[in-house]
């Protein structure tokens, strides 16, 4: 079997004690690194070592190229596994077909990171903060977020601005991207061990699991030290519905709470292996969410569409009741205004998705 070992960060640079992990990639990866679907651009080409592996010193250009490739690959692999489990006929390439997604780890000296369909590219920017340079590509959360936009765009191309005109559809995109950052941690068994150790099994404890983009957030929002928190109690009536990122927090919070409650059912077993259960429940909830996304309308989908499909598809009565409770609390099940939250024409032409839109957003 062809395959390479590559090195990647396990989480955000601010979580330096978590360090790096070695990722096995069971397909051909050539110099660059490049694979059939992912191409690193804009940095000096990295050559594999004599064994065909890509192992680099941390925090130099070669590391950023290898880490970013491995992180995009790993998140893409997790999501495609979930989408194929829901429907084996989903596209295997990107929105534009099988030509590779170009990934630029050091795109431009500015804030944020972007997925741009028209350019077939993800751009990770870098910026100066005090005496440091902050590289967004080094945040596993930000890489996961942008990769999720690219994969979801392949699966639901008409959820893109211009094809869909509802704020809620774009907010599903943003929520899915933030939740992917959570699921991408749960997809790493060694990180599940770290999460259990730092939370002591309480997934509502404030840990790196639910916080999005810690290092980036610390530079932009000093008091919080993160950009967004998946573990929130926001209801639709609590947020500014004209802001897609604010709106997205409501769906993100509901799915996060469902995940925590399902996990708590499983750990009631006195002989439970907490870390293995966390890994398994993460996949279980991701697969249910993805299944609902596949079955949701091809354009202008709403939170209510996703919630109703998840509830009606659910075979396990305990899980179903959990979903009804959390989607109900958030105001999603009774929401009838999704169809009037239209995107203003000025925003419809934007062919891009970013992870950190506004440095002054308040939680
Ligand atoms: Zn985004």
pTM of the model: 0.92
User: What's the confidence (pLDDT) of residue 363?
Assistant: 22
In a domain, 94, yes or no: yes
The number of folded domains in the chain is: 2
Give the model's pLDDT for residue 129.
Answer: 85
pLDDT score for 360: 33
What is the number of other CB atoms lying within 10 angstroms of the CB of residue 246? Answer: 20
CA of 17 to the centre of ligand 1 (A): 27
Instruction: Kindly state whether residues 213 and 173 are assigned to the same domain.
Output: yes
> Does some domain include residue 363?
no
* pLDDT for 362: 25
CATH number at residue 80: 3.10.170
Q: How far apart are the first and last CA of the chain?
A: 47
Cα(154) to centroid of ligand 1, in Å?
15
Tell me how far the alpha carbon of residue 357 lies from the centroid of ligand 1, in angstroms.
Answer: 8
**Same domain, yes or no: 205 and 282:** yes
Residues 83, 167 within the same domain = no
Contacts of 16 (CB under 8 A, 6+ apart): none
Residue 241 counted as domain residue: yes
Residues lining ligand 1 (ion), CB within 5 A? 174, 177, 353, 355
Tell me which residues of the chain have a pLDDT lower than 50: 348-351, 358-363
Residue 292 lies in a domain: yes
Whole-number Å distance, alpha carbon 136 to ligand 1 midpoint, is 13
What spacing in Å lies between the alpha carbon of 172 and ligand 1's midpoint?
10
18 and 149 in a single domain? The answer is: yes
From ligand 1's centre to the CA of 3, what distance in Å? 31
Residues 68 and 167 in one domain: no
Within-domain flag for 361: no
84 and 220 assigned to the same domain:
no
* 116 CA distance to ligand 1 middle (Å): 11
User: What is the CB neighbour count within 10 angstroms for residue 58?
Assistant: 15
Is 359 within the bounds of a domain?
no
Q: Which helix (H) or strand (E) holds 345?
A: helix 345-348
Whether 108 and 195 share a structural domain: no
- 103 with 164, same domain: the answer is no
Q: Does 174 share its domain with 147?
A: no
How much is the pLDDT for 56?
A: 74
Question: 298: exposed, middle or buried (C-beta count within 10 Å: 0-12, 13-18, 19+)?
Answer: exposed
Measured in Å, residue 40 CA sits from the centre of ligand 1 at 20
Query: How many A from CA of 48 to the centre of ligand 1?
Result: 32
* Residue 151 lies inside a defined structural domain of this protein: yes
Taking only the tens place, the pLDDT of each residue in 275-326 is 999 999 999 999 999 999 999 999 999 999 999 999 999 999 999 999 999 9
- Cα of 58 vs centre of ligand 1, distance in Å, is 27
| E-strand stretches of 98-187 | 101-104, 113-116, 121-124, 126-129, 132-135
| 86 assigned to some structural domain | yes
Query: Do 221 and 129 belong together in one domain?
Result: no
Residues 212 and 295 in one domain: yes
> Which domain range does residue 314 map to?
158-354
Whether residues 187 and 146 fall in one domain? no
Residue 274 CA to ligand 1 centre (angstroms): 31
């Amino acid at each position: 079997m062809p395959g390479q070992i590559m090195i990647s960060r396990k989480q955000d640079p601010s979580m330096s004690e978590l360090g790096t992990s070695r990722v096995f990639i069971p397909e051909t990866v050539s110099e660059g690194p490049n694979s059939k679907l992912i191409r690193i651009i804009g940095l000096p080409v990295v050559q594999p070592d004599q064994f065909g592996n890509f192992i680099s010193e941390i925090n130099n250009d070669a590391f950023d190229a290898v880490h970013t490739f491995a992180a995009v690959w790993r998140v893409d692999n997790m999501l495609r596994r979930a989408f194929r489990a829901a429907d084996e006929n989903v596209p295997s390439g990107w929105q534009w077909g099988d030509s590779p997604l170009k990934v630029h780890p050091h795109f431009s000296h500015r804030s944020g990171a972007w997925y741009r369909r028209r350019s077939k590219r993800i751009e990770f920017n870098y910026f100066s903060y005090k005496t440091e340079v902050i590289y967004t590509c080094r945040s596993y959360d930000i890489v996961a977020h942008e990769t999720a936009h690219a994969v979801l765009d392949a699966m639901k191309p008409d959820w893109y601005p211009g094809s869909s005109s509802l704020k809620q559809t774009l907010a599903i995109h943003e929520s899915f991207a933030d939740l992917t950052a959570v699921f991408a941690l749960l997809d790493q068994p060694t990180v599940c061990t770290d999460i259990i150790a730092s939370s002591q099994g309480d997934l509502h404890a404030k840990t790196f699991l639910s916080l999005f983009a810690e290092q980036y957030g610390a530079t932009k929002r000093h008091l919080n030290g993160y950009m967004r928190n998946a573990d929130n109690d926001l209801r639709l009536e609590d947020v500014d519905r004209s802001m897609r990122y604010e709106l997205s927090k409501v769906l993100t919070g509901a799915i996060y709470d469902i995940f925590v409650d399902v996990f708590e059912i499983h750990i009631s077993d006195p002989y439970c292996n907490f870390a293995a259960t966390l890994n398994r429940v993460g996949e279980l909830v991701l697969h249910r969410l993805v299944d609902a996304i596949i079955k949701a309308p091809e354009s202008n989908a709403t939170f209510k569409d996703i919630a109703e499909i998840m509830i009606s598809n659910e075979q396990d009565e305990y899980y179903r009741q959990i979903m009804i409770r959390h989607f109900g609390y958030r105001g999603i099940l009774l929401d009838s205004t999704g169809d009037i939250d239209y995107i203003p024409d000025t925003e419809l032409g934007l062919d891009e998705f970013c992870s950190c839109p506004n440095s002054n957003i308040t939680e």
